[in-house]
């Protein structure tokens, strides 16, 4: 299995290490960085946390956004964390400044509010119950995190925190508003590998 990490900006190195460990545990596989359209020959892709405006802009400038969109629509499994969850969502607004015109993938039936909890001052760590994916209660950070305010169609919520959706799935698409790549567990990454293999 070959997993790509969109490596322009953000927590791409953290995803790289976590995914590498997961694949090692499962008997092998390769993790590569994706920056240009020619790198898109992968079995699954991760869109990391970072600034969604920056990631979207660079992807669109380098001609990666359209082919990536197409691949994801055709069923390429994708995990988006934080900024990645924003990129995947069909409907994005900012909690403070409202709608901004930013390049997105927009493939998942979900509504996302950027900077939902506020600024860095309101960023926090919390315990999230992963029982829906056969995991335990684990500690995660939420950094200037978005919220998934609504899912519809085939999309469903996998975890919530105080009634706000923090993890959702639609087929091969997995979105989290927290950061499994900074946590002490590889559970979310290995769950993604499982759904990508289906």
Partner 1 sequence: MRLYELSFHEIEEFFYRLAEVRDVLKGDGYLSFLPELRTDLSPIQGTTYVKHAFPIFQKGGVVMDVTNVEQAGIAEEAGAVSVMVLDKLPYDVRKAGGVARMADPKVIEEVMNSITIPVMAKVRIGHYYEAKVLEALGVDMIDESEVLTPADEEHHINKWEFKVPFVNGARNLGEALRRISEGGSMIRTKGEPGTGNVSEAVKHMKIVNSEIRAVKFMSEEDRVKKAREMQVPYQLLELTAKLNRLPVVNFAAGGIATPADAALMMWLGSDGIFVGSGIFKSQDPLERAKAIVLATSCWEDPEVVLEAQKMISEHKSMMGMDIRTLKPEELMQVRGV
Q: How many of the other CB atoms lie within 10 Å of CB of 50?
A: 20
Within 22-41, which residues bind partner 1 (CB under 8 A)?
A: 33, 35-36
Could you tell me the two tokens for 186?
């590889």
Within 61-120, which residues bind partner 1 (CB under 8 A)?
A: 61-62, 82-83, 94, 96-97, 100, 114-115, 118-120
The torsion angles phi and psi of 21, rounded to 5 degrees, stand at: -65, -40
Within 136-195, which residues bind partner 1 (CB under 8 A)?
A: 139, 141, 143-144, 161-162, 179, 181-184
Q: Judged by CB under 8 A, which of 43, 51, 91, 129 binds partner 1?
A: 51
Q: Does 2 bind partner 1 (CB under 8 A)?
A: no
Going by their DSSP bridges, the two strands 78-81 and 173-176 should be labelled as: parallel
Please state, in angstroms and rounded to a whole number, the distance separating the CA atoms of residues 66 and 72.
10
The torsion angles phi and psi of 166, rounded to 5 degrees, stand at: -115, -10
The continuous run of DSSP H or E covering 108 comes out as strand 108-114
Q: Can 82 be counted among the known catalytic residues?
A: yes
**Residues comprising the binding site?**
50-52, 114, 143-144
The continuous run of DSSP H or E covering 12 comes out as helix 12-25
Q: Does 17 bind partner 1 (CB under 8 A)?
A: yes
Partnered with residue 4 across adjacent β-strands are 32, 45
Residue in this structure with the two tokens 């930013």, named with its chain if needed: 102
Q: Judged by CB under 8 A, which of 41, 66, 70, 122 binds partner 1?
A: 122
User: Is the CB of 50 or the CB of 77 nearer to partner 1?
Assistant: 50
Query: 14, 138, 170, 179: which one is catalytic?
Result: 179
Could you tell me the two tokens for 108?
């998942």
Catalytic residues: 82, 179, 181
Q: Which residues bind partner 1 (CB under 8 A)?
A: 5, 7-14, 16-18, 20-21, 33, 35-36, 49-51, 53-54, 57-58, 61-62, 82-83, 94, 96-97, 100, 114-115, 118-127, 139, 141, 143-144, 161-162, 179, 181-184
């Amino acid at each position: 299995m070959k997993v790509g990490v969109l490596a322009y900006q953000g927590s791409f190195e953290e995803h790289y290490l976590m995914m590498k460990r997961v694949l090692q545990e499962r008997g092998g596989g390769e993790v590569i960085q994706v920056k240009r359209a020619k790198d898109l020959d992968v079995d699954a892709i991760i869109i990391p946390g970072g600034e969604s405006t920056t990631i979207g802009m660079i992807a669109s400038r380098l001609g990666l956004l359209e082919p990536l969109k197409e691949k994801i629509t055709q069923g390429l499994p994708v995990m988006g964390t934080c900024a990645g969850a924003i990129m995947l969502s069909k409907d994005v607004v900012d909690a403070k400044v409202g709608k901004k015109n930013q390049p997105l993938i927009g493939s998942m039936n979900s509504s996302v509010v950027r900077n939902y909890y506020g600024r860095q001052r309101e960023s926090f760590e919390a315990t999230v119950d992963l029982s829906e994916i056969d995991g335990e209660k684990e500690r995660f950070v939420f950094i200037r995190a978005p919220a998934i305010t609504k899912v519809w169609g085939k999309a469903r919520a996998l975890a919530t925190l105080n009634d706000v959706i923090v993890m959702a799935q639609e087929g091969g698409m997995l979105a989290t508003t927290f950061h499994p790549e900074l946590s002490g567990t590889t559970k979310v990454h290995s769950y993604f590998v499982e759904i990508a293999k289906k």
